[in-house]
Amino acid sequence: MSAWVEDVLGAGYEQRTLDLGSDPDGEGEVVATLVRATPPTTPKRAFLWVHGFTDYFFQTELADFFTERGYAFYALDLRKCGRSTRPGQTPHYVSDLALYDAELDEALRIVREETGEIEVLLGAHSTGGLIVPLWLSRLNATPGGSREAGIVGIVLDGPWFDLQGAAWMRSIGTQVIRAVAQVRPLERLKLPPGDAYGSSLHVSAAGEWDYDLTWKPITGFPVTYGWLNAVRRGHAILHRGLDIGVPSLVLRSNRTRFARKHGPDTDVSDAVLDVKQIARWAGCLGDAVTSLPIPGARHDVFLSQAEARAAAYAAVDRWLGYAGLT
């Protein structure tokens, strides 16, 4: 376990490496990276953020939002993602989403230890929005549950609740994914190239956000059969119903517009996931679920254009008040 050192984001941010030991998927030693922002003088709660696929934490505006409301802000770069990438490893690859429990457990332990056991609100985007509820449901099944672990709620941003695309991909396609994953887990799916979403975000193209393109390429990382099979197993568990034990806020765009190349529609819709599926499966989280469309939002609602982004943050503010978490 390393000490806190200055983060790549510079002043006001520190990072700490979490050593996780040998990779169960055979790609050497794996680590995760916990990032923290300079906290309020006396934080009343903590917020822990988890990114999605082809992603890592760089959203300082999100950190500012929560620190301004008295939260100690933390973010976790999962194994083989962003700051946690190591040479020779397949970016974002895991054969089972439950492997992430190790870094999530450790991150929660550190956050609570550092903040004097104050309550923790979770947040997650896209694939992280599947990973974290699955972990939380397993945690809630232990003695005391998620509440006794100090968790009081979760904010999900464009969570990946089902496989997008044609219906046959969720039936026959899933069987093919499973079969290939058993014999060639690291084989890449042959998907048509596209830069629509990445170009809508990054300053080098049509976006306003500056981030490391090594860790978040504009065209995304390749998708492997083994990783997608792990995601599909996670989807199946979610669809049977979870019990996360705490209230949730699920934010999504109000429409989907798939495209390979960037255009005006990419900036005001979800270019990655089917938002109807997010709406359909949100109720499977259990406990009290608030599911809201944000007009004109992108896939990452908190990286939307200014008007939609402001609407998303206003929705979070209202929900925090409703949930008694202000």
Give the pLDDT confidence score for residue 187 in this predicted structure. Answer: 97
pLDDT digits (tens, 9 = 90+) for 21-55: 999 999 999 999 999 999 888 999 999 999 999 99
pLDDT digits (tens, 9 = 90+) for 161-196: 999 987 877 889 999 999 999 999 999 999 888 899
Give the pLDDT confidence score for residue 171 in this predicted structure. Answer: 86
Give the pLDDT confidence score for residue 142 in this predicted structure. Answer: 95
Give the pLDDT confidence score for residue 306 in this predicted structure. Answer: 98
Q: What is the pLDDT averaged over residues 279-287?
A: 96
Share of the chain above pLDDT 90, in %: 94
Say what the pTM is.
0.97
Return the bridge partners of 14, or none: 6, 36
Share of the chain above pLDDT 70, in %: 100
User: Longest C-alpha distance within the chain, in Å?
Assistant: 54
Does residue 269 surpass a pLDDT of 80? yes
In the sheet with 13-22, reading across from the earlier edge strand, the strands are 5-6, 13-22, 29-37, 71-77, 45-50, 120-125, 151-157, 248-253, 289-294
CA distance 39 to 266: 35
pLDDT digits (tens, 9 = 90+) for 122-135: 999 999 999 999 99
Give the pLDDT confidence score for residue 261 in this predicted structure. Answer: 93
CA distance 315 to 311: 6
The dihedral over CA atoms of 255, 175, 52, 153, expressed in degrees to the nearest 10, equals 80
Which residues have C-beta within 8 Å of that of residue 260, sequence separation ≥ 6?
192, 193, 194, 195, 196
DSSP tag of 81: S
Which residues have C-beta within 8 Å of that of residue 170, sequence separation ≥ 6?
162, 163
CA angle 201, 207, 212 (to 5 degrees): 55
- With bands split at pLDDT 50, 70 and 90, how would you rate the model's confidence at 1? low
314: number of CA atoms within 13 Å, CB side? 9
Q: Is the torsion defined by CA of 56, 58, 64, 65 positive or negative?
A: negative
Give the pLDDT confidence score for residue 167 in this predicted structure. Answer: 81
> Could you tell me where the DSSP H helices lie in 141-283?
145-148, 172-183, 196-201, 225-239, 275-281
**Average pLDDT across the chain, whole number:** 96
pLDDT digits (tens, 9 = 90+) for 205-238: 999 999 999 999 999 999 999 999 999 999 999 9
Q: What is the pLDDT averaged over residues 285-306?
A: 97
Q: 232 in helix, strand or coil?
A: helix
